[in-house]
Amino acid sequence: MSRVTLSRYLIEQTRSHNTPADLRFLIEVVARACKAISHQVSKGALGGVLGSMETENVQGEVQKKLDVLSNEILLEANEWGGHLAGMASEEMDKAYQIPGRYPKGAYLLVFDPLDGSSNIDVNVSVGTIFSVLRCPNRNGQSGDLGEEAFLQPGTEQVAAGYAIYGPQTMLILTLGNGVKGFTLDRELGSFVLTHDNMRVPETTQEFAINMSNQRHWEPPVKRYVEELLAGKTGPLGKDYNMRWVAAMVADVHRILTRGGLFMYPRDSREPEKPGKLRLMYEANPMSFIIEQAGGASTNGLQRILDIQPTSLHQRVAVFLGSKQEVERVTAYHQE
C-alpha cells in the first residue's frame, strides 16, 4: 500500500472537504519551512546556531540564534507565494507586511517560530507552532495591514499545527476535521501520514506544570495540584505522575499522544498579566488542535478559543488536555 504524503492528504482534502487550493499551498509552504528549521536545529554546534543573540524580542526575552533564524526562514518562505495578506510572529513587535512586489492573498499566518528555545542548547525537543486565519475584508484599503486584522478569536482559525523537532521530526495538523500526524521521511524529503486520527484520552494520570512556581499560584491551582499529589489516598483516588519538558510543543505532543493535562497558570509575581503564554501564537493553535482531538482547553474560567484578543502579544493562562481533568480544574476556578 502506498504511503500518504502531506501533499496527497491535502489534495484529498480539497476533493472531499472543499479545502481551498491556496490554503493547501500555504500549509505545504509552512511544512517546507519547518523542514528547513528542522535541518538547522539538527546541526546544533556544528552549524554555529547555538547560544544567544544580544537582542531581545518584544516580550523582553533574550533571543536565541535559532529563534531569529527560524523566524527568517518562515518569513522568507511565505512572503512571495500570493496566499497571505500578512504575518505575525512572537519574535516581532508588529505585523509583518507582505513586500509590495508580491501579490497578496486571503489568509493571515501567525506563528511562534521556535517554541521552547531555552531547551536548544541542551538538545531537548523544541518546535514551531502556527495558526491560519482569514484576512478580514479591507474594502479596497491600501497601505499596511494593521494589528486589528489579526485580533480574531481562536474559533476563527481555519488551520493550526505544530512541528516538533525531536528524535523524529513530526508535523501535527488540523484543518478543523480532526488531527493528523505526519513524520518526516528524510530519505524521501516528505512528511508522511503516520498518525491518522489522533485523540486525547478523556481521563489521565499524568500532569505537566512547573512546580517551582507553586508558591505563586492562585488558590484553585494549589488546591487541584495538592489533590493530584495526594494520590490514591486523596479525593481523586488515583496516583498521578508529573512530566515537565518546559517546551509547550513537547508537553502538548506527549498529551496528544497518550493523554495528560498541561497547566501554565497565572501567578502572583506579575498580577497585571493574565498568564505567561501567548494567546495568538501558542494557546489558540494548541487549543484548536487539542479540541479537535477530543480534549479541552480553558484559561481557568472560559474556553480559550472564545477569548477575543485585544493585542497581538496578549498573554493567557492555559489548562489543556484530557477533558475530565480540564473540567475539574476549571470548576475549581469558577467556584
313 residue type, one letter: H
What CA–CA distance (Å, rounded) separates 329 from 224? Answer: 6
90 is in an annotated binding site: yes
What CA–CA distance (Å, rounded) separates 7 from 23? Answer: 12
Q: Are 128 and 34 in contact (CB under 8 A)?
A: yes
94 is in an annotated binding site: no
Count CA within 13 A, CB hemisphere, residue 202. 2
210 is in an annotated binding site: yes
Q: Are 175 and 17 in contact (CB under 8 A)?
A: yes
Paired strand residues for 297: 320
116 is in an annotated binding site: yes
What CA–CA distance (Å, rounded) separates 330 from 307? Answer: 15
3-state secondary structure 260-298: CEEEECCECCCCCCCCCEEHHHHHHHHHHHHHHCCCEEE
What CA–CA distance (Å, rounded) separates 59 from 5? Answer: 37
117 is in an annotated binding site: yes
What CA–CA distance (Å, rounded) separates 85 from 128? Answer: 21
Chain Cα centroid distance, residue 41 = 18
Residues 123-160 as b or e (16 or more Cβ within 10 Å = b): eebbbbbbbbbbbeeeeeeeeebeeebbbbbbeebbbb
Paired strand residues for 207: 242, 261
Q: Are 20 and 10 in contact (CB under 8 A)?
A: no
What CA–CA distance (Å, rounded) separates 213 from 227? Answer: 17
131 is in an annotated binding site: no
212 is in an annotated binding site: no
185 is in an annotated binding site: no
Binding site residue list: 90, 112, 114-118, 210, 276, 282
Binding site residue list for substrate: 115-118, 210, 276
Binding site residue list for Mg(2+): 90, 112, 114-115, 282
